[in-house]
Amino acid sequence: MNDLQASRRDFVRKSTVASALISTGLSAPLLANNQESKVEIINPRNRVPVSFIIDDSTALVNMAYYGIPQFQEVFPGQYKQDWKKLPQEIPDDFVREFRDWCGENGVKGKYSMVPYPACTGWLHRFIPGWSKSDLEKSLKLVRDTMTDNWDIHPEMISHTRVINTKTGLPYPFATPEYMENWEWSQTKSADELANYIAYALNVLKEAGFYCEGITTPGGFGSKNMDNLALGTLEAQKEVYNTEIPHFFRNVITDPEKSVEPELFHVSGIGTDDPRCSVHIIGCTGDWFGGWDGLNPGDPLLDISDFMIINQLFRGQPKPQVEQLPIRII
C-alpha cells in the first residue's frame, strides 16, 4: 500500500471505530466532563461522499458474455438476452480510458475483480483465450494505477457456479442451490462462508491485490446476514488481518429509509483490538444501463437520487473537518 491508500483507509478505520463506540453506548467517557455536550457524527469536511460502485468487473473477461448462458441453464425461462452480441473481452484500453476520466473528475469508489470469472480461468494463474502476458498486463493496470482511488473487492469466486474449495472445481449441478447468486449461501454457517470468502481473497492476494472488503454476487447471503457478516470478518482477518472489514450486500433506494452503514459483531471497543464487520449499503440503482450491458441507461431517470443527496445537507453549515468525523459540541 502506498501512503495515500494508508491515509484514506486509516481514516475510514478510525471513523468506523468512532461510530461503533457511539452505537454501542460507550461514548460516556467523552461526555463525562460536560453533561450538556452531545456527540455528532459528521462526514469528512461535512460533505456527502459519493462513491462509484463498479460490480461484475474483472481482468479482460466480459462477465455478461460468459455468465448469461450459465444463468439461463439454471432458469431456462429467463435470461433471454442475446448474449452472443456482447464482446467477450473488456479491453484494457477501455479500463484505461475509464481510469483517466475518473482521475480527471475526482471519482473514487469500489472496483470488483472476480477471481475466477464465470469459471473461465484464474486471475492468479491464467485465463484461456488470453496469453499469460495479456493477463499480467491487465492485472498490473488495475493494481498499479487504480488502487489509489478504488478499493478492490472479490465478488466471491466465480459469480456463477459455486466452487468446491477442496478441489477448485465448480460443482456440476446447474441449480439455484449451487449458484453463488442464489440459494447456496443462504443456509451456510459463518465458518463455511468464511472458508469460501477466504478462498476468493487468497486468489486476489496471490494476484497482488490488497482487499479490505468484499462484494456479494447477486443474492449471496441476503437471507443469512449475520453469518455473512461474521464470515467476512473471519475471512478478512485470516487473509489480510484486516481490522475493520466491510462488505457490500444491500441497496436501499427508498428515501425514507436509512443507508447508514450497519455494524455487526462489534467487540473490543476501547481496547487495542477493536473489531466489527461493516455493511456498506448502496443508495442508488444502475444509472448507466442494465448489468448485462445490452441496453443503455438514462441517468436523468435517477435525478431523484441527486435530490435525496442534496436534501441531506440542505440548510446545514459546512465547516471544514480534516480528521476523525466526530466532534464534541
Report all structural domains of the chain as residue ranges with CATH numbers, in order of start. 1-47+314-329 (no CATH), 51-312 (3.20.20)
Question: Is the pLDDT assigned to residue 79 strictly greater than 50?
Answer: yes
Per residue in 189-207, pLDDT tens?
A: 999 999 999 999 999 999 9
Q: 112: which residues sit within 8 A by CB, 6+ positions away?
A: 54, 55, 56, 57, 58, 152, 153, 154, 155, 215
User: According to the model, what pLDDT value does residue 307 have?
Assistant: 41
Secondary structure (H, E, C), 191-245: HHHHHHHHHHHHHHHHCCCCCCEEECCCCCCCCCHHHHHHHHHHHHHHHHCCCCC
Greatest mean pLDDT range, 67-76, 258-267, 307-316: 67-76
User: According to the model, what pLDDT value does residue 51 have?
Assistant: 87
- Which residues on adjacent β-strands are paired with residue 111? 54, 152
How far apart CA 249 and CA 214 sit, in angstroms, is 9
The DSSP-derived string for 233-299 is HHHHHHHH--SS-EEEEEE---TTS----EEEEEE-TTSS--EEEEEEEE-S--SSB-TTSSSB--G
How far apart CA 47 and CA 296 sit, in angstroms, is 30
User: According to the model, what pLDDT value does residue 253 have?
Assistant: 87
pLDDT grade for 36, boundaries at 50, 70 and 90: low
First-to-last alpha carbon distance for the chain, in angstroms, is 35
User: According to the model, what pLDDT value does residue 294 have?
Assistant: 84
How far apart CA 31 and CA 29 sit, in angstroms, is 5
Nearest to 145 by CA among 95, 205, 212: 95
φ/ψ of 228, rounded to 5, equals -60, -45
Of the listed ranges 173-182, 191-200, 288-297, 301-310, the one predicted with least confidence: 301-310
Average pLDDT of the chain is 84
pLDDT grade for 172, boundaries at 50, 70 and 90: very high
Question: Is the pLDDT assigned to residue 318 strictly greater than 90?
Answer: no
Q: Is-above-0.75 flag for pTM?
A: yes
Of the listed ranges 82-91, 121-130, 141-150, 291-300, the one predicted with least confidence: 291-300
Q: To the nearest whole percent, how much of the chain has pLDDT over 90?
A: 65
